[in-house]
Amino acid sequence: MAVGDVVLGANQYGKAEVRLVRVTRDTPVHEIADLTVTTQLRGDFEACHTTGDNAHVVATDTQKNTVYAFAKQHGVGSPEQFLLRLARHFVDGFAQVTGGRFAADVHAWDRIAVDGEPHDHAFVRAGRETRRAVVLVDGDDVQVVSGFTGATVLKSTGSEFTGFPRDAYTTLAETTDRVLATSVTAWWRWQDPDVDVEARYPVVRDLLLTTFAQVHSLALQHTIFEMGRAVLEACDDVAEVRLSCPNKHHLLVDLAPFGLDNPNEVFHAADRPYGLIEAEVRREGDPPVPHVWAAVPGFV
Residue 60 designated active-site: yes
Least CB distance to ligand URC at residue 65 (A): 24
**Catalytic residue chosen out of the listed positions 30, 64, 248, 249:** 249
Reduced to 3 states (helix: H, G, I; strand: E, B; else coil), residue 79 is helix
Write the single-letter amino acid at 172: L
The residue (of 63 and 159) whose beta carbon lies closer to ligand URC is 159
Least CB distance to ligand URC at residue 222 (A): 8
256-275 in b/e burial notation, b at 16+ Cβ within 10 A?
eeeeeebebbbbbbeeeeee
Q: How many CB atoms lie within 10 A of CB 291?
A: 11
Least CB distance to ligand URC at residue 223 (A): 8
The residue (of 220 and 241) whose beta carbon lies closer to ligand URC is 220
Phi-psi region of 156 (alpha: psi -120 to 50; beta: other; left: phi over 0): alpha
Beta bridge partners of 243: 186, 279
Q: Contact at 8 Å (CB) between 148 and 131?
A: yes
The residue (of 21 and 219) whose beta carbon lies closer to ligand URC is 219
**Catalytic residue chosen out of the listed positions 15, 107, 119, 268:** 15
**Catalytic residue chosen out of the listed positions 60, 72, 89, 149:** 60
Least CB distance to ligand URC at residue 272 (A): 14
Residues 6+ apart with CB under 8 A from 163: 174
CA dist 109 and 31 (Å) reads: 10
Residues making contact with ligand URC (CB under 6 A): 161, 172, 219-221, 247, 275
Least CB distance to ligand URC at residue 247 (A): 5
Least CB distance to ligand URC at residue 194 (A): 38
For residue 177, give the nearest of 204, 155, 202, 149 by alpha carbon.
Answer: 155
The residue (of 62 and 162) whose beta carbon lies closer to ligand URC is 162
With the C-alpha atoms ordered 115, 156, 125, 77, is the resulting torsion angle positive or negative? positive
Residue 15 designated active-site: yes
The residue (of 53 and 174) whose beta carbon lies closer to ligand URC is 174
The residue (of 172 and 199) whose beta carbon lies closer to ligand URC is 172
Q: Contact at 8 Å (CB) between 153 and 180?
A: no
* Residue 207 Cα distances to 13, 37, 121, 144, 211, angstroms: 47, 34, 17, 19, 6
End-to-end CA distance of the chain: 63
As annotated, the active-site residues are 15, 60, 249
